[in-house]
Amino acid sequence: MIKPMRNYIFIRNIFYLAVALCICITGMYSCKKNNPVPHRIIDADLKGAFDFQPGTYWIFKDSLTGQIDSFYVRGTSMANNTSNNPSYTYDEMDIDIKEVNESPIGADTARWGIDLEQNKIYLSDWYIDNFADYDPIVYPFTSGTQTSAVYNQSIILLNTVTSGINSFNNVAIINFTGGLNDYFYLNADVGFVKIVLNQRGANRVWELQRWNIVK
């Protein structure tokens, strides 16, 4: 009679252990389900203003040299990224902009990039084998300054700006200093109204002449 009793106790303990394990697994799943990692999408107003698609182009004239050049959207891509501190996932949209005339070497940028993340715009430009990755710009634009370890950023809002032969309303002039001294005139209707570059020997004042916007 001793051996069957031991078997009974052993089977009973295994049963209790299995029940406890199921409860733990269910609890862990329930906690995970009730506390999902938050996901942050691109701000609707930001995307509506700067979601430039292939077919978009801008034709600029350099007021310093008289050179005419064009920039066009070569492609767009979407990515889902993860932030660990704090923990969340977020959408990122990359807009790849190509400059048509890159010569003479050392005179112009080759590519531009616009990244849209949550409520921020990230601008970048490729110049020969280097690139400038500017600090993020919060949208909607507000006047003020901010300082980072890389650049100083100041924003001025103007009701009207003239660029070339055109006038544009509600323009944000964004100036990056700290190793650079570049200005971007941004408008929610057409994007780049004016680009002033004072870097790496490539002094340019690109003023918008004509454009076609696809969103």
Does residue 79 share a domain with residue 10? no
How many Cα atoms are found within 13 Å in the side-chain-facing hemisphere of 184? 24
Q: Do both 45 and 116 map to the same domain?
A: yes
Distance in angstroms (rounded) separating the CA atoms of residues 184 and 191? 10
Q: What is the pLDDT of residue 2?
A: 45
* CA nearest neighbour of 106 among 123, 125, 129: 129
Number of domains forming the structure of the chain: 2
The dihedrals phi and psi of 24, each to the nearest 5 degrees, come to -65, -45
Q: Are residues 201 and 115 in the same domain?
A: yes
pLDDT at 197: 84
Residue 107 and residue 163 in one domain: yes
Residues 59 and 17 in one domain: no
pLDDT of residue 128: 53
Are residues 128 and 28 located together in one domain of the fold? Answer: no
- The whole-chain average pLDDT of the chain stands at 82
* Predicted confidence (pLDDT) at residue 118 exceeds the cutoff of 60: yes
Q: What is the pLDDT of residue 181?
A: 86
Tokens 């990755």 locate to 133
Residues above pLDDT 70, as percent of the chain: 74
pLDDT band at 44 (very low <50, low <70, confident <90, very high): very high
Instruction: Calculate mean pLDDT across residues 111-122.
Output: 92
Residues 125 and 147 in one domain: yes
Upstream peptide bond of 54 is cis (omega within 30 degrees of 0)? no
| Confidence band, pLDDT 50/70/90 cuts, at residue 63 | confident
**Per-residue pLDDT reduced to its tens digit, 143-188:** 999 887 678 899 999 999 999 889 999 999 999 987 778 899 999 9
Give yes or no: residues 45 and 89 share one domain: yes
- pLDDT score of 133: 81
Task: Give the confidence band of 47 by pLDDT, cuts at 50, 70, 90.
Answer: very high
CB neighbourhood size of 18 (10 A):
10
Q: Are residues 172 and 134 in the same domain?
A: yes
Which residue segment(s) compose the domain that 2 sits in?
1-36
Query: Per-residue pLDDT tens for 77-89?
Result: 999 999 988 899 9
Lowest mean pLDDT among 29-38, 66-75, 178-187: 29-38
pLDDT tens for 1-30 read: 444 545 545 455 555 555 555 555 555 555
Span 108-123, mean pLDDT? 86
Report the candidate in 183, 210, 177 with the shortest Cα–Cα distance to residue 69. 210
